[in-house]
Amino acid sequence: MSLDDLQYQENDVGKMKGFIARLFLNPNFQNLPLPEVEGLLINFLKQNEQQLIATLTSDEFYPGLQWRDVQILFFTVLKEITLEKMMPQMKKLISEKIELSFLTRLDKKSPVNISSISGKILAFLEKIVANREVRINFDVTFKLLENDYIDKYVESLFKRREYLFNELTRVDSLHHLDAIALANYVKTALVLRNVVYMKLPVSQNVKGVGTVSNLNLFDVWDRPALKQTFLDKLHGVLFDEFPEIPEEFLKAAIDSNRDCNEETSMLSGCSRFLAIISKRGKDYKPWIKVDRGAEQPDKSWFTIARKNYLHHGLDKKMLEEFFKISADGNW
Amino acid sequence: MQKKSGFWETFILIAIFLVIIQTFIEDFAVIQDWSVRLRQLLILTGLFFDFLFTVEYFFRQTRAIKRKNGWNYFTRERGWIDFFASVPLLLLNSGPMAFLLLTGEGIISLEVAGVLNILKVIKSVRVTRVLRFIRMIKLFGKIYNPDSKMAQRHIARITSMSVVVIVLVLIGTSFIKVSQKHYMESIKRDYGALVKTANENSKTDAIKFNSQLKILLKTRSDFISAKLLDNVKISQFTKKEIEKSYSKDDLFVINFDNNKIKITISKKAVNISESQHSLVALIIIIVLVITLLIFYTKHFAQTVSDVIHIMRRGMSEADYSLKVKINEHYPDDEIYKLAELYNDQWLVLKDLHRPLGEKAPGETEAFSLDDFLSANQGDGEESKS
């Protein structure tokens, strides 16, 4: 839904735009990625609904609008402003932090034109981020790319040449990629992995009646058959969108959202690596000063994660090595 | 109001620094034989600081009493330190010294020396001014652990105990060492021997006696001046020189022959010796206090309060999951045993309760309803403009 589709007074729309623009300037949000700010504001409005109903529908704020109208206006303007701010940032981040030349070194069906693929990826992202769930989950992507998080771990695993290295280079047959190319490989997969939040029409049988519903991976998470149907469909969408990119790569990006302990044999090293990195990214706050006497954030996080690996569906051996790397690097 | 109290606190902190310097310089000036005028000025500044701290103590105590917190302030909030580092000093040290300086006439007699002796013992208490450094734990705290009240209390306790013990030992041992009175009595005996010798040699001839005693007195390095028989006056220095270099406290008078003979003697040697002792005690206490404030505070913070701070955050904040770093030198300390449980069990269970990477319900950083509504209220002003 866009603002043009809504029947609001111009004054209310302008007022709401000013309001949300000022919310984005709140000092508490200064370090946070835009999608995270959007998510926080949405949660805030939902959690404080009872207190806000009377205030926001009062004469002082939006007189004449029902609470539901205020909510719709809020969410619509919030989305519009987030996208306005987010897309230029995303383009800048991808162009500055990701080098797609590794694609020319992968086994491929057809010749690869890097600038064309880059444009296609951006266009595809622009399309999928219109979905709120996809958009909100880009907070991790922003944080990890901005802080070169993947680069430092890939560089370390190349130096160590242990389990992570073997899984990513030998098992995934990426031995012809150097550390920089492999880091770009993982970063590109990170950018594409949020595609699983995209809703796709999936046929399902509800009480014996065949229906088609718009679902994403997490809607079908506990229903194995439907999950497989969804994933097959998603693979199809992505393969059609990017025929020049090897299927293994696209599959790795999607599979990084799956539980590796249920489907270890099916998941590539890159998927399992990305699953860990993405989970870590949710709690990653590079701007926070570590308390004296506390362990470094990565070291703390990996210690806990390797104990709860089953619960989180992460690869234990990979977590062990992540822990060692973070301890060595004092990260 | 808060601005005023902030100014007052800063003023007092500066005064604490200055009074420590003043205490040091006051003794240093005696040892270095600074001019009388400078030494008198230092006594008056000491009086000013003691007066200032006495006023401050009564202000704080009265305020605490008004809040029905008087006893607690005195016993638990270091009111006793404020008291001992101000009132006794004003009444028994800087006050009498200044009084003597401003109103006392002439030179101290042996009879006054007894009182002076007590004042000199009280002088040991001056080092309690250093206790006021404890007030600055908060300043050191800013370097180590801004919020730990426990650290502040423990450091204050150990610092005040150490200083009080040293001060008590100093007061106790001040009776053992040679006191002013003893010194002056011994000098009187020495000079009495001289008078006796002169008397024996002169055989009641006043002129001969004066001449004999004059020769004998000049052999003494502490002799200043004398009024001999027949009002004959002799002096090692001019009146101006004496006024410039000798304060009332530097001199004392001994009378012989029913006040027919008055001899003025310097007691700078004993004053210097006492100042050296005071200075050493002061330096020991300052170094001890600073060492405790800097190094022990750091040690305490790192091995106790920081650990507790991290565990408290981990238990009270939904998205705080940093482990406690176990100090490799003290892994068997109870606090680290507890920290191990926190690291290995609490954080792991907390993670299962709130899966890693997922925000806890209601968690919206530090963003409040006021932040939200104030952003909306900007509209009115904007549309007007």
pLDDT digits 0-9 by tens, B111-132: 555 566 666 666 667 777 777 7
Side chain identity at A201, as an amino acid letter? P
**Could you give the CA distance from residue B98 to residue B120 in angstroms, rounded to a whole number?**
14
> Over 80: is that where the pLDDT of A128 sits?
yes
Q: Name the band, by pLDDT with cuts 50, 70 and 90, for residue B105.
A: low
Let me know: does A314 contact A321? Beta carbons within 8 Å: no
Question: What pLDDT does residue B114 have?
Answer: 59
Q: Which residues pair with B266 in a beta bridge?
A: B251
Question: What pLDDT does residue B135 have?
Answer: 67
C-alpha pair distances (Å), A122 with each of A94, A125, A126, A128, A167: 8, 5, 6, 10, 29
Question: What pLDDT does residue B157 have?
Answer: 85
Q: In what side-by-side order are the strands of the sheet with B233-235?
A: B108-109, B251-256, B261-266, B223-227, B233-235
The one-character DSSP state at B92 is I
The one-character DSSP state at B333 is S
Question: What pLDDT does residue A3 have?
Answer: 58
Q: What are the backbone angles phi and psi of residue A292, rounded to the nearest 5°?
A: -65, 135
* A200-206 and B108-109 strand pairing: unpaired
A9-35 residue pLDDT tens = 767 788 888 888 888 888 888 878 888
Both tokens of A277, joined, read 């990195």
- Low-confidence winner among A63-77, B40-54, B369-383 (lowest mean pLDDT): B369-383
**Could you give the CA distance from residue B282 to residue B20 in angstroms, rounded to a whole number?**
9
H-helix or E-strand spanning residue B226: strand B223-227
Question: What pLDDT does residue B3 have?
Answer: 58
Question: Residue with structure tokens 């004998």?
Answer: B216
Mean pLDDT within B71-93: 85
Q: What percent of chain A has pLDDT over 70?
A: 94
Greatest distance between any 2 Cα atoms in chain A: 66
Question: What pLDDT does residue B333 have?
Answer: 94
Measure in Å the smallest separation between the Cα of A9 and chain B Cα atoms: 15
Let me know the angle formed at the C-alpha of A40 by A35 and A42, rounded to the nearest 5 degrees.
Answer: 95
Q: What percent of chain B has pLDDT over 70?
A: 80
Question: What pLDDT does residue B244 have?
Answer: 87
Higher per-residue confidence, A141 vs B163: A141
Mean pLDDT within B45-52: 92
Q: Name the band, by pLDDT with cuts 50, 70 and 90, for residue B335.
A: very high
Q: Which residues pair with A214 in a beta bridge?
A: A201
Q: Which residues pair with B253 in a beta bridge?
A: B109, B264
Picking from A55, A60, A312, the nearest residue to B356 by CB comes out as A312
Using an 8 Å CB-CB cutoff, list chain B residues near A281: 357
H-helix or E-strand spanning residue A205: strand A200-206
Question: What pLDDT does residue B383 have?
Answer: 37
Mean pLDDT within A126-155: 90
Nearest CA in chain B to A279: B357
Using an 8 Å CB-CB cutoff, list chain A residues near B321: 283, 300-301, 304
Mean pLDDT within B370-377: 68
Q: Name the band, by pLDDT with cuts 50, 70 and 90, for residue B360.
A: very low
Let me know: does A244 contact A113? Beta carbons within 8 Å: yes
Question: What pLDDT does residue B305 have?
Answer: 92
Average predicted confidence (pLDDT) for chain A: 86
Interface residues of A toward B, Cβ cutoff 8 Å, are 15, 18-20, 22-23, 25-26, 28-29, 32, 40, 43-44, 47-48, 51-52, 55-56, 60-61, 278-283, 290-295, 297, 299-301, 303-305, 307-308, 311-312
> Over 70: is that where the pLDDT of B144 sits?
no
Both tokens of B100, joined, read 């003597």
Higher per-residue confidence, B195 vs B109: B195
Q: Name the band, by pLDDT with cuts 50, 70 and 90, for residue A324.
A: very high
Question: What pLDDT does residue B385 have?
Answer: 30
A290-321 residue pLDDT tens = 998 999 999 999 999 999 999 888 999 999 99
C-alpha pair distances (Å), A239 with each of A191, A247, A314: 16, 7, 26
Question: Residue with structure tokens 């940032």?
Answer: A89
Q: Name the band, by pLDDT with cuts 50, 70 and 90, for residue B382.
A: very low
Mean pLDDT within B224-249: 87
Average predicted confidence (pLDDT) for chain B: 81
| Displacement of CA B57 from its chain's centroid (Å) | 15
A175-215 residue pLDDT tens = 888 999 999 999 999 999 988 888 888 887 767 777 888 88
Helix, strand or coil, per DSSP, at residue A222:
coil
A223-266 residue pLDDT tens = 888 888 888 888 888 888 888 888 888 988 988 888 887 765 67
Domain positions in chain B: 2-177+273-297, 182-271, 317-367
Mutate to test the interface with B, among A26, A221, A296, A312 (most CBs of B within 10 A): A26
Measure in Å the smallest separation between the Cα of A280 and chain B Cα atoms: 6
C-alpha pair distances (Å), B294 with each of A154, A236, A274, A275, B300: 42, 66, 46, 46, 10
Both tokens of A152, joined, read 């430092």
Both tokens of A128, joined, read 């999928």
- Give which of A293, A225, A229, A262 is closest to B327, Cα–Cα: A293
- Give which of A159, A150, A160 is closest to A181, Cα–Cα: A150
H-helix or E-strand spanning residue B191: helix B180-202
Q: What are the backbone angles phi and psi of residue B233, rounded to the nearest 5°?
A: -110, 135
- Phi-psi group of B46: left, alpha or beta (phi > 0 → left; psi -120 to 50 → alpha; rest → beta): alpha
H-helix or E-strand spanning residue B339: helix B334-341
Both tokens of B304, joined, read 């106790």
Asked if the Cβ–Cβ distance from B323 to A51 is below 8 Å, we say no
Nearest CA in chain A to B376: A19
Side chain identity at A152, as an amino acid letter? K
- Low-confidence winner among A25-39, A109-123, B366-380 (lowest mean pLDDT): B366-380
Interface residues of B toward A, Cβ cutoff 8 Å, are 145, 301-302, 306-307, 309-310, 313, 319, 321-325, 343-344, 347-348, 351-352, 355-359, 362, 364-367, 369, 371-373, 375-379, 382-383
Q: What percent of chain A has pLDDT over 90?
A: 29
Picking from B322, B355, B383, the nearest residue to A312 by CB comes out as B355
Side chain identity at B20, as an amino acid letter? I
Which residue pairs, CB below 8 angstroms and at least 24 apart, start in B305-309? B305/B145, B305/B148, B305/B150, B305/B151, B306/A291, B306/A292, B306/A293, B306/B145, B306/B148, B307/A293, B307/B335, B307/B336, B307/B338, B307/B339, B308/B148, B308/B150, B308/B335, B309/A291, B309/A293, B309/B145, B309/B147, B309/B148
Mean pLDDT within B194-207: 84
**Could you give the CA distance from residue B332 to residue B319 in angstroms, rounded to a whole number?**
29
B148-162 residue pLDDT tens = 788 888 888 888 888
| Displacement of CA B136 from its chain's centroid (Å) | 13
- Give which of B288, B29, B7 is closest to B160, Cα–Cα: B288
Let me know: does A157 contact A272? Beta carbons within 8 Å: no
Using an 8 Å CB-CB cutoff, list chain A residues near B371: 23, 26, 28
Question: What pLDDT does residue A246 have?
Answer: 87
> Over 50: is that where the pLDDT of B359 sits?
yes
Both tokens of B162, joined, read 């150490």
Asked if the Cβ–Cβ distance from A22 to B373 is below 8 Å, we say no
Both tokens of B192, joined, read 């009495």
- Please give the full DSSP string across A235-303, using - where no structure is assigned: HHHHHHH-TTS-HHHHHHHHHTTS-TTTSGGGS-HHHHHHHHHHHHHHH--TTSPPPTTBPPHHHHHHH
Mean pLDDT within B31-41: 89
**Is B201 exposed, middle or buried, given 0-12, 13-18 or 19+ CB atoms closer than 10 A?**
middle
Measure in Å the smallest separation between the Cα of A307 and chain B Cα atoms: 7
Asked if the Cβ–Cβ distance from B364 to A44 is below 8 Å, we say yes
Question: What pLDDT does residue A265 have?
Answer: 63
Let me know: does B1 contact B111? Beta carbons within 8 Å: no
Nearest CA in chain B to A32: B365
Higher per-residue confidence, B113 vs A288: A288
- Which residues, other chains included, contact A93 with Cβ-Cβ below 8 Å and sequence gap of 6+? A142, A145, A146
> Over 50: is that where the pLDDT of B362 sits?
no
Picking from A40, A55, A294, the nearest residue to B364 by CB comes out as A40
**Could you give the CA distance from residue B202 to residue B170 in angstroms, rounded to a whole number?**
48
